[in-house]
Amino acid sequence: TVTQPLMFGMLLLVVTVVPYFIFSALNIPGPSSTFFIVAFSLPINLPVAPEEALMRGITMFAGGLLATLVVIVNILISKESAEFKAVKNEYSIIKQLIAQFNDEQAFATTSRKAVNVFKNADNQFIAASLPKGKKTIKFQKLLILHNLAQGMYAELLELNARNNRPLPIEIVEMATYISDMVTNKGQNNELWRKEISVSHVYQNLIDYIFRVDEIMHANDKKIVHEIDIRIPIYGQHMYQNLTLDSIIFKNTLRYIVIMGVSIFVALMFHFDKAYWIPLSAHTVLVGRHTMHSLERAGARGIGTVLGVVALSLILITNPSVPVAIALLALTAGITEMFVGANYSFAVIFITIQVLLLNGLASQHLTLSIALPRITDVMVGVIIGAIGLVILGRKTASSMLPNSIGEVVRAEAKIFHYLFSTNSYDKQEEGKKEMLLLSVKLNNMSRVYDSANGEIFNHKIAIQNYYPTIYALEEISFMLTRALNNNKRIHIDDAQMGEYLVAFENIAKHFDHNNYLFVKDLSTLPQYVYITEALMNIQHNCTHTNNA
């Protein structure tokens, strides 16, 4: 399609948009979607030869297989998988929370960090998730430990709400014991021999600790029996983001418009190596939020100029093909080293790397492959930056209240499902609702992060939402714990009505920005933290009213 600009442009747009949406929905970090543009556009640098299309495709596929093989080997020889690191971080924060439990202020500070640790672990398991039958025993074991860590955290929130202090030293020692066991992959030779004798109020926490110990020593048959997948797999997570209420979907629509304009400009004005314009616009758009994207725009522009200058000095010496290949490998390695830590610096080597690749493909290692790229990149960066300023000014800010209201209503629905005397026998329905809630929570967090990075937002007003977001995330931990407790206590219709009214009042406050009168709530027989969190949200709503 290289000789047919219209067809090429339409296919390029599809090749860019689909990976962008998929990687955004699955929260997969890094520039993965960028390589789809590079791979699809590479034939522009090659002679037009349709008869060689199959061979070129096979060659590129072989390169992809080689890269995949390297990744697989790295995973096999790696001592710690990404999922294990996530679980390790969870048990490290649990150990820290229990050690600081008797200091209320320190516990509150660490608890805020814990929410992010558990969210990151959730995202890691979502990104790694497969249908149940295809999961390894090792993965299933880590998933059970992940769920138990969330249960321990929910129990700590409950004990904190009831102010059950001080925490017995035996529990602190036990928590240290099991945390060290998990983080050391079970290589703990010392057996727990102390007798436990503490108040019954800590029994649930102790039960969780013993369950962790049990799972760490369980055989494969026991793990298979215990596993119960509660996280959305790829398809579910992407499907739930195909709605205008999703910040990911709205960002994708914005991405389509800006990338469409960049492709149109590149092809309409017959730029040489036209794909550099949409490629540059794309690298701007993959930022976390508007301000981050604009920072990337500046970094892309400066880094490209410096990279072109550096490559021009190299090309003046007329390097041979082997030398160019060696430089290509060297710059690729330097890029991998610095792209995460310093994007501006890494862009210099990205520019050299891609231009060398183009030169080798076209068999023209001359200055003509370097200098025109400055114009291409600047045009792409300007299109991306202007598009963000026009389309990304206050999108997330306007979405944030509504996304919070959706989470409140989703939690109210699950609350009724779990605690109503009109009990529901189908637990699968509850799990389905929890999956939907996890998507809404993830959307709410992303909207908040995006709103914080917008250009013309009211920074203080946006940040005032954070205590509510934090409380809603902690309520979700309590609801997850209740869903897995077959002995949970139901409440009568009067108390249920009291809580549902509170949930709906909060939701309407965010929907319509009306004043919220604080409604006192009677204490729940279980999961007292839900009561405390709802009261905190109501008080925070009155604070934002007066802000």
Residue 275: DSSP 8-state: T
Question: So what's the pLDDT on residue 501?
Answer: 95
Confidence check: pLDDT of 350 > 50: yes
Count the neighbouring beta carbons within 10 Å of the beta carbon of residue 521. 17
With residue 108 as reference, give the H or E element that holds it: helix 104-128
On whether the CB atoms of residues 240 and 26 are closer than 8 A, the answer is no
- Cα 306 to chain centroid, rounded: 32
Q: Return the SS3 of 479.
A: helix
CA distance 493 to 471: 25
What value does the CA radius of gyration of the chain take, rounded to a whole number of Å?
27
pTM confidence score: 0.72
The single-letter DSSP state of residue 190 is: P
Q: What is the pLDDT of residue 351?
A: 86
Tens-place pLDDT, residues 488-535 = 889 999 999 999 999 999 999 998 888 888 889 999 988 888 998 899
Q: What is the pLDDT of residues 240-275, one digit of tens each?
A: 778 877 888 888 999 999 999 999 998 888 887 777
User: pLDDT tens digits, residue range 440-461?
Assistant: 888 898 888 888 777 666 777 8
Is residue 73 classed exposed, middle or buried when 0-12, 13-18 and 19+ CB atoms within 10 A define those classes?
Answer: exposed
**Are 295 and 318 contacting, i.e. CB atoms less than 8 angstroms apart?**
no
What pLDDT is attached to residue 362? 72
> What pLDDT does residue 460 have?
77
Better-scored residue on pLDDT, 128 or 85: 85
Tell me the mean pLDDT in the region 378-400: 84
Determine the Cα–Cα distance for residues 141 and 225; give it in Å rounded to an integer: 11
The pLDDT > 90 percentage for the chain reads: 16
Query: What does the pLDDT read at residue 527?
Result: 86
Q: Which of 244, 212, 189 is nearest to 399 (CA)?
A: 244
In which residue are the tokens 């067809």 written? Answer: 7
- Across the chain, mean pLDDT equals 82
> Which pair of tokens denotes residue 143?
């998933």
Confidence band (pLDDT; 50, 70, 90) for 426?
low
* pLDDT confidence bin for 423, thresholds 50/70/90: low
For the chain, counts of helices (H) and of strands (E): 22, 0
What is the pLDDT averaged over residues 2-28?
Answer: 83
Average pLDDT over residues 401-426: 88
pLDDT at 409 (0 to 100): 95
**Confidence grade of residue 237 (pLDDT, cut at 50, 70, 90):** low
Helix, strand, coil % over all residues of the chain, rounded to 5? 75, 0, 25
**pLDDT tens digits, residue range 177-226?**
888 888 875 555 566 667 777 788 888 888 888 888 888 877 777 676 55
Question: How many angstroms separate the CA atoms of 102 and 8, rounded?
Answer: 64
Asked if 397 contacts 462 with a C-beta cutoff of 8 angstroms, the reply is yes
Does pLDDT of 229 surpass 60? Answer: no
pLDDT value for 340: 67
Res. 133: pLDDT tops 70? no
What's the confidence (pLDDT) of residue 31? 61
Please give the angle made by the CA atoms of 105, 107 and 109, to the nearest 5 degrees: 70
The Cα-based distances of 321 to 66, 148, 315, 353, 403 in angstroms read 22, 56, 11, 14, 55
Distance CA 476, CA 482 (A): 10
CA 96/CA 458 separation, integer angstroms: 35
What distance in Å separates the CA atoms of residue 350 and residue 416, rounded to the nearest whole number?
53
pLDDT digits (tens, 9 = 90+) for 287-330: 777 777 788 788 888 888 898 889 888 888 888 889 989 998 89
Q: φ and ψ at 420, to 5 degrees?
A: -70, 145
For residue 122, the model assigns a pLDDT of 78
Contacts of 99 (CB under 8 A, 6+ apart): 172, 175, 176
- Cross-strand partners of 420: 491
